[in-house]
A and B are shown apart, each in its own frame.
Chain A
Amino acid sequence: MSEPNESVVREVTICNKEGLHTRPVMKFVDLAQTFESDVSVRSLESTEIVNGKSAMELMLLCATFGTVLEVTATGVDAARAVEALTALVVDEFSLDLPNT
């Protein structure tokens, strides 16, 4: 069994034009909630750390195009969570795909 509470941190830059807006926020939250780990997000422009599973807090990050985010996951599936969430950001939140 690997470390139960390992923390994984990775930086990622918002690269979609509209930034962390309603649709990206919900994609992020929906994905984050599929993991058991706690997910927190910090914008490097501020010191505030928000819950990556909170639709309201992520919106309050005010992460526009070009903002660098630090995504941290803590828990059993931390590595997978960070991998998937940063990929989502890099992938511009797969915005061409319709919402469920």
Chain B
Amino acid sequence: MQILTGKAVSPGIAIAEAVVLDAEELRIPRRMVTKDEIPDEITELDHAFATSIEEIATQRADVKLQLGHDVADVFNWHIGVLKDPMLRKDIVSLMEERNYSAAYAVSTVMRGLQRRFMQMKDPLLAERMRDVQDIERRLLRNVLGKSAEDISHLSQEAILVTHDLTTSQTARLSSTKIIGVALDVGGATSHTAILLRSWGKPAVLGLKNLSSHVSGGDTVIVDGLNHMVVADPDEATLEDYRSKRASFVKLIDALDELRDLPAVTTEGVRIELLGNIEYPAEAAASMEKGADGIGLYRTEFLFLGDEDPDEEEQFEAYCKTIAGANGNQVTVRTFDLGADKITQNKHFEPERNPMLGNRSIRYSLQHLEMFKVQLRAILRAARTGNVRVMFPLLTTLMELRQAKMTLFDAMEDLEETGVRFGRDLDIGMMMETPAAASQCREFVREVKFVSIGTNDLIQYLLATDRGNERVSRYYTASHPAVLRTIRDVIRTCAKAGVDCSLCGEMAGEPIYAMLLIGLGLRKLSMAPNNIPEIKKLIRACSLKKAERVAKRALTFETDAQVTNYLRAETKKLLPDDPI
């Protein structure tokens, strides 16, 4: 049994066998084996070679009948490669010299060959890369037996253990039987974490080298309540976790019963709970969880596909989201592109410091055509519902004015071409940089609403990269500087009569609920899955109490004091909850 601590980013408990993926999503159960196991591994390798050759010979015969010689020729070459003594020699020497498992050695050698084909100038030859990939997969499947299947075709529930996941890899997990995730790297609020939380798949990140310790098929427990992963648990631990999981599930079910009840404090003060979403389908899912609307629609997720979304595609996505919200308000945030892996890989030369680089509104304002396309799509969709638009990551008033001007330009464009659109949408901004927060008074004169984006605000206030596990302990919403900044923004907005909400991860964390309400917020936007629990808290709490808690929380000097205090107060309010 091995217990590792990391950072829980999605609550809950998942128990299942592990599926271990390498960087290219092929499942490699074990990378290293002991010296004594090598002879057996080589026997299995040779067996896999023989089986693969037989398989291809059969396929070749079928293909020859159906498609003729040309295609069958390619299979001849596959067989030739598998019979190639040089290839076997390369693989076996990795096993003998470096104790690689047969699968890992196959994968290493074949990946090297794929890279060489990829670099070839002759396109016909470069295409052979696919064949090498094909041979690799076939060999691996035969080395690994059943365990090599693609994760989209898992026959039973499993825990995904791997080094890191890109956002697009994560996006594909929603329809698989992966019920929990354990990653070597990753801080708390990357997009990966956001997605996993919204699907209710427990996840712990930042587990250092877990993926090299765990083998496919090992039982793994992901404890997203206590920031832990248990690999290969003993029977007592397993039993303990089964009952913990059962009570958590019971709790969640009980929370779902709150769905149709309003979020009101004991005095009857109404708090709006809104959903943060990435995909149009999540709008309806948020309503299912009892959301009062969509407080943050992260439109940049439209860029996850292979091609950038055109106006029609965007228009359709926005309309679908608005329809899903079923008449409730939808706050659309314009693209927050630039600092994530997707765009750094796809669109730009990598920046040395992307978080301080050309991202978000800056990127949009430097790509005005793309920005205008988005604004047109939003404006057109705004006719179909109750829509607001907001700009992310503003640091200067000039940016806000330029963004608004671009929006008005887009309106004019639409007017000139006679396209109908929603003219009366409110224009707002994310308050997520220290610069904007300290100039809040000036900003609120020029917007209808403000949404405090704590994820970035904390990161910039505390000079901490939220995705870097080496400093993730510095990243906390409890820092007194964060609390004071939020308090000041709320006050300034209230004085100016500007609608203020908060849409960071902080809004969905139970321990901050009383604090935020006590500071004066009446609108909180969070991952849809967090809504029931926050609602339960609010319904158990009086505004008076919340105000007292907020006042007290602001007197502490360190984040640890704040966290401990808030946790204790929350626990007092809901003694039975595993907070």
Contacts and interface: CB of A to CB of B under 8 A. Distances in A.
Interface in A22-68: 22-23, 25-26, 29, 51, 53-57, 59-60, 62, 64
B213 to A, nearest CB: 33
B310 interface: no
B84 A56 contact: yes
Contacts of A2: none
B77 A60 contact: no
Given A51-B86, A56-B87, A56-B113, A21 B124 contact: yes
A24 to B, nearest CB: 10
A76 to B, nearest CB: 20
Contact of A19 (B73, B113, B122): B122
A26 B69 CA distance: 13
A18 interface: yes
B72 interface: yes
Contacts of B117: 59-60
B73 A23 contact: yes
Contacts of B87: 54, 56
B130 interface: no
Contact of B86 (A26, A54, A98): A54
A33 to B, nearest CB: 9
Interface residues of B, number: 22
Contact of A59 (B73, B83, B125): B125
Prevailing SS type, chain B contact patch: helix
Contacts of B124: 18-19, 21
A57 B122 contact: no
B120 interface: yes
A62 B122 contact: yes
Contact of B125 (A21, A26, A54): A21
Nearest to A20: B125
A56 B73 contact: no
B122 A26 contact: no
Interface string B475-496: 0000000000000000000000
Contacts of B128: 22, 59
A53 B88 CA distance: 13
A57 B120 contact: no
B77 A59 contact: yes
Given A55-B84, A99-B69, A22 B113 contact: no
Contacts of A21: 124-125
Contact of B81 (A23, A56, A99): A56
Given A62-B120, A98-B69, A56 B86 contact: yes
B122 A64 contact: yes
Nearest to B86: A54
A60 B109 CA distance: 14
A23 B294 CA distance: 59
Of the listed residues A25, A29, A57, A59, the one surrounded by the most CB atoms of chain B closer than 10 A to its CB is A59
B35 interface: no
Nearest to B120: A62
Interface string B120-136: 11101100100000000
A60 B116 contact: yes
B76 interface: yes
Contacts of A59: 77, 117, 125, 128
B122 A99 contact: no
B125 A57 contact: no
Nearest to B82: A55
Given A19-B125, A55-B77, 12 more contacts: A26-B73, A29-B80, A55-B84, A56-B87, A56-B113, A57-B84, A62-B121, A62-B122, A62-B125, A98-B69, A99-B72, A99-B73
**Which 9 residue pairs of A and B lie closest in terms of their CB atoms, listed nearest first?**
A55-B80, A22-B77, A54-B86, A23-B73, A55-B81, A26-B76, A54-B84, A56-B81, A55-B84
